[in-house]
């Protein structure tokens, strides 16, 4: 969209009035937008803001209205309409066609936000004009705010300031010409990728920049070797521009030239090589010192603001923070727990019974009987040497209970001699069919 708008002499920027509210909701679907408030229950008859499908629906609606005018004399993004032409008369004629279409479809515009017959305007955060595409100032603040290099002489600081000035001022982005070859300058560092796409009007002239790009690597990509890092930078950059065009890739890693002919590459490199075969690609060497823009984009780091350390507490006070719980507090908590658990127990002389979470009453056994019960449920002829969970379940199925049943079953199974010799306890995977 930006490339289509750039380079024109006149523009008209139109804005839809409460865009979503201009779309009717079918009567059979209006109940889906019902809401309740202190004044009653209501439903929308027109599409409100906030529906998850509203943006897609509205964009499709606008595209269908102006389908024969798109990319000919106008562009549409949601409720923003951009009309353009190479002359005043042509732009006025295109505006007439667009306004007539709005009248035919009852599409209402917000006159206060419309701008007619201007030579430049902001679209999607970029300034478009006959000069080209200029990046929004907020997006280049990270470059303008870069501090000067440390421990360098005055000429280096002046050169650094000049570089920042050339990168951030003037028409730094140009519209691509599809008749000329593209030049792609890539570089990869340990933490990020950087790429610059440009073109030369003719041999010997400077490169006109079309787009910049940078991307941080994920933890897996940071472990790539140098060749993979440099190739990843090429794979990452500007696919939509480069399909069907002649491309010259300038990289500071000379091994990339031989990569496309390598017979025994790793699977990931083979996949990337197959992807790059879609392009008319030529890889050339360029020294890292000459590839400064892409190299710098791959090394920009976002500064962090460290939190101040509050060192107000003396060490003696810190050492006394962790103290043992007083005995009376532990005693009180123990009594409260006993009162809470007592409602699940029933004493019927000479046995103690417990109402478990599955609403089954089971007999509580003393510590002296725990080992013999586990021996019977795990190692006896009917035990089967199952795992700890299955053994504990068998104990519960027999109607027995004690508080540490699962922990004791795990300890018993892990020390079973026959299970150790067999390698593992019996589970569902090893059961006899």
Structure tokens at 354: 């417990």
Phi-psi group of 116: left, alpha or beta (phi > 0 → left; psi -120 to 50 → alpha; rest → beta): beta
Q: Distance between CA 11 and CA 87 in Å, rounded?
A: 9
Residue whose token pair is 């499709």 = 60
pLDDT (0 to 100) of residue 244: 65
Determine how many CB atoms are found less than 10 A away from the CB of residue 293.
Answer: 20
How does DSSP classify residue 326?
Answer: P
pLDDT (0 to 100) of residue 86: 86
Residue whose token pair is 């008749």 = 179
The number of residues in the chain equals: 433
Query: 3-state SS of 31-90?
Result: HHHCEEECCEEECCCECCCCCCCHHHHHHHHHHHHCCCCECCCEEEECCEEEEEECCHHH
Domains, in order of start, for the chain: 1-131 (3.30.70.270), 139-169 (no CATH), 182-299 (3.30.420.10), 333-424 (1.10.340.70)
Q: Distance between CA 242 and CA 239 in Å, rounded?
A: 5
Residue whose token pair is 């060192």 = 311
Per-residue pLDDT of the chain (433 residues; tens, 9 = 90+): 777 777 788 888 888 887 788 888 888 888 888 888 888 888 888 888 877 878 888 888 888 888 888 878 888 888 888 888 888 888 888 888 888 888 888 888 888 888 888 888 878 777 788 777 777 776 677 777 777 777 777 888 888 888 887 777 655 667 777 777 777 777 777 778 777 778 777 766 777 777 777 777 777 777 776 666 666 666 665 666 666 667 777 765 555 555 556 666 667 667 766 666 666 667 776 655 444 554 444 455 555 556 665 656 566 565 666 555 655 556 777 777 878 888 888 888 888 899 888 888 999 988 889 999 998 988 887 778 888 888 999 999 989 998 889 999 999 888 888 887 776 555 555 554 4
pLDDT (0 to 100) of residue 203: 67
Residue whose token pair is 């992807």 = 275
Structure tokens at 159: 């050169």
Which runs of consecutive H residues, i.e. helices, occur in 219-325? 226-236, 239-242, 256-259, 267-276, 292-297, 315-319
pTM: 0.44
pLDDT (0 to 100) of residue 433: 47
Query: 3-state SS of 178-235?
Result: CCCCEEEEEEECCCEEEEEEEECCCCCCCCEEEEEEEEECCCCHHHCCHHHHHHHHHH
Q: Distance between CA 34 and CA 37 in Å, rounded?
A: 10
| DSSP E strand boundaries for 286-406 | 345-348, 351-355, 361-364, 400-401
How does DSSP classify residue 121?
Answer: E
CA 299 vs. chain centroid, Å, equals 21
Q: Distance between CA 114 and CA 16 in Å, rounded?
A: 9
3-state DSSP assignment of residue 104: helix
Whether the Cβ atoms of residue 130 and residue 9 lie closer than 8 Å to each other: yes
Q: Distance between CA 78 and CA 47 in Å, rounded?
A: 14
Structure tokens at 280: 């008319």
The answer for residues whose C-beta is within 8 angstroms of residue 365's C-beta and 6 or more apart is 373, 400, 401, 402
Sign of the dihedral defined by the CA atoms of residues 331, 332, 334, 338, in that order: positive
Structure tokens at 77: 């993004």
pLDDT (0 to 100) of residue 294: 46
């Amino acid at each position: 969209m930006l490339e289509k708008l750039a380079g024109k002499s006149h523009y008209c920027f139109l804005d839809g009035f409460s865009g979503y509210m201009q779309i009717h909701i079918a009567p059979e679907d209006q109940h889906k937008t019902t809401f309740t408030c202190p004044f009653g229950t209501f439903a929308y008859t027109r599409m409100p803001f906030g529906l998850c499908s509203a943006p897609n629906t509205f964009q499709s609606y606008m595209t269908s209205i102006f389908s024969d005018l798109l990319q000919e004399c106008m562009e549409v993004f949601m409720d923003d309409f951009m009309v353009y032409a190479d002359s005043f008369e042509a732009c006025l004629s295109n505006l007439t066609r667009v306004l007539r279409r709005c009248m035919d479809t009852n599409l209402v515009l917000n006159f206060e936000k419309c701008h007619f017959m201007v030579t430049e305007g902001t679209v999607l955060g970029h300034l478009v004009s006959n000069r080209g595409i200029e990046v929004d100032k907020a997006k280049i603040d990270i470059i303008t705010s870069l501090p000067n290099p440390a421990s360098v002489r005055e000429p280096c600081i002046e050169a650094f300031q000049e570089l920042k000035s050339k990168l951030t001022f003037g028409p730094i982005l140009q519209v691509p010409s599809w008749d000329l070859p593209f030049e792609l300058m890539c570089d990869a560092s340990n933490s990020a990728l950087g790429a610059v796409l440009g073109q030369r009007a003719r041999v010997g002239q400077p490169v006109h920049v079309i787009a910049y790009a940078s991307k941080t690597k994920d933890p897996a990509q940071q472990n790539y070797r140098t060749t993979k890092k440099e190739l990843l930078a090429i794979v990452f950059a500007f696919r939509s521009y480069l399909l069907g065009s002649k491309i010259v890739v300038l990289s500071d890693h000379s091994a990339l030239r031989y990569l496309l002919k390598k017979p025994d590459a790793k699977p990931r490199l083979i996949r990337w090589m197959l992807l790059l075969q879609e392009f008319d690609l030529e890889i050339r060497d360029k020294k890292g010192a000459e590839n400064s823009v892409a190299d710098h984009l791959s090394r920009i780091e976002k500064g962090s603001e460290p939190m101040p350390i509050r060192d107000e507490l003396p060490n003696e006070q810190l050492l006394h923070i962790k103290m043992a719980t007083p005995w009376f507090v532990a005693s009180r908590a123990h009594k409260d727990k006993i009162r809470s658990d007592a409602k699940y127990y029933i004493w019927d002389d000479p046995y103690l019974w417990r109402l478990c979470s599955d609403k089954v009453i089971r007999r509580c056994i003393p510590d002296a009987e725990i080992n013999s019960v586990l021996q019977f449920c795990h190692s006896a002829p009917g035990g089967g040497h199952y795992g700890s969970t299955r053994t504990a379940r068998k104990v519960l199925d027999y109607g027995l209970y004690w508080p540490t049943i699962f922990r004791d079953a795990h300890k018993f199974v892990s020390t079973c001699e026959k299970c150790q010799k067999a390698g593992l306890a019996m589970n569902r995977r090893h059961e006899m069919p």
